């Protein structure tokens, strides 16, 4: 493109409205090219970090998260308009929270102790539908108030039952912790033997009743 201007009555042809010769125009173009390319690169980089992707890519360090949970996280990220970088931060944060909760639950299991957990497992199996048992057991392990309420309710059921009806048989001798431990080991060695499991639970209940009776 050229442009005509008047200087002292003489017409001077300017290229691109600025350059007097083609050589100057070419030099100007070459000088501006790096700036143009830099601007285009910046525009592309800006688009990459602000664009909401059609499909989020999962970092390799979150590969062990369940597929259904990943799908839910991606749906929430899409709804919130997250970029790929924001999504990665979000999914890693969710994984860290899950691992923290898992570790907290494992610590709580150690604090409660396996003996009490077995009592709770038996209580849950007898008082809740199968579909609810796992969640209820986890609730009683992780929530001290709920656990105390469950154990108190169990004691009430044991005290109120008619003798011989749904109540563990009470041995005619004093049940020691050693008896309970032996029954536990026998149950663990043969986990599919329901008789050994029931014997362990019966001794456990008898031991608890003896402690309660003083």
- Could you read off the pLDDT tens digit of each residue along the chain, which spans 214 residues? 444 444 444 566 776 667 677 676 667 666 766 776 666 666 666 666 667 888 999 999 998 999 999 999 999 999 998 999 899 999 999 999 999 999 999 999 999 999 999 999 999 998 888 888 899 999 999 999 999 999 988 888 887 754 444 444 444 457 778 877 888 888 788 877 777 777 778 777 777 776 766 5
Identify the CA nearest to 62 among candidates 70, 53, 71: 70
Residue 26, pLDDT score: 67
Residue 176, pLDDT score: 79
Residue 43, pLDDT score: 65
CA quadruple 48, 50, 56, 57: dihedral sign: positive
- Residue ranges of alpha helices (H) inside 81-193 are 84-112, 114-127, 130-142, 144-160, 177-189
Please tell me the distance from the alpha carbon of residue 20 to that of residue 195, in angstroms, as a whole number. 104
Residue 33, pLDDT score: 64
Cross-strand partners of 10? 7
Cross-strand partners of 15? 2, 19
Residue 171, pLDDT score: 46
Please tell me the distance from the alpha carbon of residue 91 to that of residue 89, in angstroms, as a whole number. 6
């Amino acid at each position: 493109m050229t442009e005509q201007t008047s200087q002292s009555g003489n017409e001077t042809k300017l290229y691109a409205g600025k350059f007097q010769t083609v050589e100057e125009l070419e030099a100007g173009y070459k000088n501006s090219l790096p700036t143009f390319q830099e601007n285009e690169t910046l525009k592309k980089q800006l688009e990459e970090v602000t664009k909401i992707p059609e499909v989020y890519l999962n970092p390799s360090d979150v590969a062990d998260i369940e597929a259904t949970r990943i799908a839910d996280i991606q749906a929430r990220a899409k709804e919130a308009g997250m970029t790929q970088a924001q999504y990665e931060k979000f999914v890693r944060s969710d994984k860290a929270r899950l691992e923290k909760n898992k570790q907290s639950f494992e610590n709580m299991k150690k604090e409660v102790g396996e003996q009490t957990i077995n009592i709770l497992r038996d209580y849950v199996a007898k008082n809740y539908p199968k579909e609810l048992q796992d969640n209820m057991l986890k609730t009683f392990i992780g929530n001290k108030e709920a656990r105390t309420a469950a154990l108190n309710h169990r004691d009430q059921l044991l005290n109120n039952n008619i003798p011989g009806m749904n109540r563990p048989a009470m041995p005619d001798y004093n049940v020691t912790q050693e008896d309970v431990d032996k029954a536990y080991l026998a149950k663990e060695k043969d986990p599919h033997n329901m008789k050994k499991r029931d014997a362990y639970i019966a001794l456990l209940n008898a031991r608890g009743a003896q402690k309660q009776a003083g």
